[in-house]
C-alpha cells in the first residue's frame, strides 16, 4: 500500500515536472521594451484618458521579435508628442510635446513601467532630442522659423536648467527662416551635430526669398557646463531638406537623410570634429526618407522611407564608411512597412530586430535583422496596432539582456 502511494506520488511529480518544462518552453521571454509616442489612444478598454498624447509600451519576444502590449500607457504630459530620447542607462526617457512646447521626464522601471517626473518649458516648438553618452546633458533642437540647439543639464536623469543655447543660422543669410530637423551626439560625447533647412530658399508651394543653399548640417564640440563651440567649417552643406541624422558608434562617420532628394549623405569625421563628404556619395534611398538608425555594432544602417512605406537597409564598409544597399535573398531591396514610417530603431539588447513607427498606419512594423548580411525579414503578425499617429520610437533592454548589448 505504501509502495503504491509512493509510485503515485512519483508519477504525479513527474507529470508536474514535464508540464512545467513544456510551459517554460512555450513561455515568452522579453528582451526589450518598445516605447511609442502617439497622439491619442485607440486601445480597446483603455482606462487612460490622454486626448493630447500618450506613451505606449510594448514587450519584444526574444524568439520571434513579435511585440505585445506591456505596461499600461501613460499620458505624455502634453499635446502631440513628436520626439523621444532615452538615457544611456535606459532608466529615463524624455518626451517632447509639440503643442505645449515642453519636455517631460519619465523614469523607466525594470518592468517597463513609466513614471512621470519633472518637465521643462521651451520658448519654441521642440523637434528632436538626444542624450549625451554620460547621461549629463539633453540636447534639443527647436523652432519653426528660428532654429536653436539647446543643452539642458541632467542630474541622475532629472531635468535641470538650460546650460547653453546656440542659434542655427546660415552664414551670410542671418535673417532667413531656418527649420531644425534632427540632432545626434557622438558616442564619445565630444561633438554634437544638428540638421536644418532654410525655409526662405526651400518652400515647396510657397514663396522663396533667399538664394541660400537649402540644406545644412551644423557641428559643435562639447565642453564643460554645456559649452558648444562650432567645429571647423560648420555649417556643412546637407542636400535640400535634411530630415534626420545618425553617427556611427566608432566616432568616424555621420549620415544624413535628405527628404527632398531621396538620398543618404555620408560624412567622414576629421580633425576638430569637422566633416567632409564621403567621396562616392550620396546614396539612393526610397521616397522621402524620414528617419535613420545604425545598429549597435556600426555595421548596418536602416532608413525609413515615409512615401514608399518601406525600410532601406545598408551595409557599412568599416574602412571607408561607404553604405551599400543590402539585398534580401529574394533579390528585393524593399522591406515593406505599414503606411508612412517616420521613426526607426534597432533593439539594443541583441541588435536583432528593427522597428518603425508608422504615422498614418497607426502601427509599429517589425523586422528580424540578419546579423551577417544586414537584410531584413518581417516579424510574425507585423504590423502591430498602436494609438493614433505614432511619431517616435525608442527601446530599452529588459533585465540582464542589457549586458548583451552589442558594441563596436
- Per-residue pLDDT averaged across 320-337, rounded? 87
pLDDT over 90 (residue 386) = yes
Rg for the chain (alpha carbons), in Å? 23
pLDDT beyond 70 at 65:
yes
Structural domain includes residue 148: yes
| Segments forming the whole domain that contains residue 160 | 29-404
Asked, for residue 14, whether it belongs to a domain, the answer is no
Q: Give the rounded percent of residues in the chain with a pLDDT score beyond 70.
A: 89
Say what the pLDDT of residue 153 is: 97
pLDDT reported for residue 258: 98
pLDDT 10s digits, 68-88: 999 999 999 999 999 999 999
Does any domain span residue 16?
no
Model confidence at 408: pLDDT above 60: no
Domain count, the chain: 1
Place of cell 502590449: 69
- Is residue 12 domain-resident? no
Asked whether residue 187 is assigned to any structural domain, the reply reads: yes
**Which triple of cell numbers denotes residue 260?**
527632398
Burial class (CB in 10 A: 0-12, 13-18, 19+), 146: middle
Residue 169 carries which DSSP code?
A: -
Burial of 396 per CB tally in 10 Å (0-12, 13-18, 19+)? buried
CATH number at residue 376: 2.130.10.10
With 50 as the cut, is the pLDDT of residue 19 above it? Answer: no
What pLDDT does residue 47 have? 53
Share of the chain above pLDDT 90, in %: 83
Question: Binning pLDDT at 50, 70 and 90, where does residue 7 land?
Answer: low
What's the DSSP call for residue 73? Answer: P
pLDDT above 70: residue 15: no
pLDDT of residue 274: 98
The model's confidence at residue 398, banded by pLDDT at 50, 70 and 90, is confident
Of the pLDDT bands very low, low, confident and very high (cuts 50, 70, 90), residue 11 is very low
* CA gap 234, 218 in Å, rounded: 6
Average pLDDT for 183-199: 98
Which pLDDT score, from 0 to 100, does residue 239 have? 97
**pLDDT band, very low/low/confident/very high, at 9 (cuts 50, 70, 90):** very low
Return the number of other C-beta atoms located less than 10 Å from residue 385's C-beta.
15
Mean pLDDT of the chain: 90
Question: Both ends of the chain: CA-CA distance in Å?
Answer: 66
pLDDT of residue 2: 42
- Answer whether residue 19 is part of any domain: no
Residue 150, pLDDT above cutoff 90:
yes
Does residue 24 belong to any structural domain of this protein? no
Whether the Cβ atoms of residue 391 and residue 37 lie closer than 8 Å to each other: yes
pLDDT at 235 over 80: yes
pLDDT by residue (tens digit) across 96-147? 999 999 999 999 999 999 999 999 999 999 999 999 999 999 999 999 999 9
Inside any domain, residue 4: no
Q: Among the listed ranges 48-62, 292-306, 336-350, 373-387, which one has the minimum average pLDDT value?
A: 48-62
Q: What is the pLDDT of residues 332-342, one digit of tens each?
A: 777 999 999 99
pLDDT for 400 beyond 80: no
For residue range 42-62, what is the model confidence (pLDDT) as tens digits? Answer: 544 445 578 789 999 999 999
Amino acid at each position: 500500500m505504501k509502495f503504491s502511494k509512493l509510485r503515485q506520488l512519483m508519477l504525479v511529480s513527474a507529470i508536474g515536472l514535464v508540464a512545467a518544462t513544456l510551459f517554460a518552453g512555450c513561455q515568452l521571454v522579453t528582451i526589450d521594451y518598445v516605447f511609442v509616442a502617439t497622439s491619442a489612444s485607440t486601445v480597446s478598454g483603455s482606462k487612460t484618458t490622454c486626448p493630447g498624447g500618450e506613451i505606449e509600451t510594448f514587450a519584444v519576444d526574444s524568439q520571434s521579435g513579435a511585440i505585445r502590449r506591456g505596461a499600461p500607457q501613460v499620458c505624455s504630459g502634453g499635446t502631440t508628442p513628436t520626439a523621444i530620447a532615452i538615457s544611456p542607462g535606459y532608466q529615463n526617457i524624455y518626451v517632447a510635446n509639440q503643442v505645449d512646447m515642453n519636455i517631460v521626464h519619465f523614469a523607466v522601471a525594470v518592468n517597463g513601467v513609466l513614471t512621470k517626473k519633472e518637465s521643462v518649458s521651451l520658448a519654441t516648438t521642440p523637434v528632436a532630442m538626444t542624450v549625451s553618452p554620460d547621461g549629463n546633458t539633453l540636447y534639443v533642437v527647436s523652432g519653426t522659423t528660428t532654429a536653436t540647439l539647446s543643452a539642458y543639464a541632467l542630474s541622475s536623469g532629472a531635468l535641470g536648467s538650460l546650460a547653453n543655447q546656440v542659434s542655427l543660422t546660415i552664414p551670410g543669410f542671418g535673417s532667413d527662416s531656418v527649420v531644425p530637423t534632427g540632432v545626434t551626439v557622438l558616442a564619445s560625447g565630444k561633438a554634437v551635430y544638428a540638421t536644418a533647412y532654410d525655409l526662405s530658399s526651400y518652400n515647396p508651394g510657397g514663396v522663396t526669398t533667399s538664394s541660400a543653399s537649402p540644406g545644412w548640417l551644423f557641428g559643435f564640440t562639447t565642453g564643460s557646463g554645456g559649452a558648444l563651440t562650432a567645429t571647423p567649417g560648420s555649417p556643412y552643406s546637407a542636400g535640400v531638406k535634411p530630415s534626420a541624422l545618425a553617427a556611427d558608434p566608432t566616432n568616424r562617420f555621420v549620415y544624413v537623410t535628405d527628404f527632398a532628394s531621396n538620398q543618404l549623405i555620408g560624412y567622414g569625421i576629421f580633425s576638430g570634429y569637422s566633416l567632409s563628404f564621403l567621396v562616392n556619395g550620396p546614396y539612393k534611398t526610397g521616397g522621402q526618407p524620414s528617419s535613420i538608425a545604425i545598429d549597435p555594432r556600426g555595421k548596418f544602417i536602416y532608413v525609413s522611407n515615409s512615401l514608399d512605406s518601406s525600410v532601406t537597409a545598408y551595409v557599412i564598409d568599416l574602412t571607408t564608411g561607404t553604405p551599400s544597399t543590402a539585398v534580401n535573398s529574394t533579390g528585393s531591396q524593399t522591406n515593406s512597412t505599414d503606411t508612412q514610417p517616420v521613426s526607426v530603431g534597432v533593439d539594443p539588447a541583441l541588435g536583432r530586430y528593427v522597428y518603425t513607427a508608422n504615422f498614418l498606419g497607426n502601427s509599429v512594423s517589425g523586422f528580424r535583422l540578419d546579423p551577417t548580411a544586414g537584410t531584413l525579414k518581417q516579424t510574425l503578425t507585423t504590423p502591430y496596432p498602436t494609438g493614433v499617429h505614432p511619431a517616435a520610437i525608442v527601446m530599452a533592454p529588459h533585465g540582464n539582456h542589457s549586458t548583451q548589448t552589442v558594441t563596436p
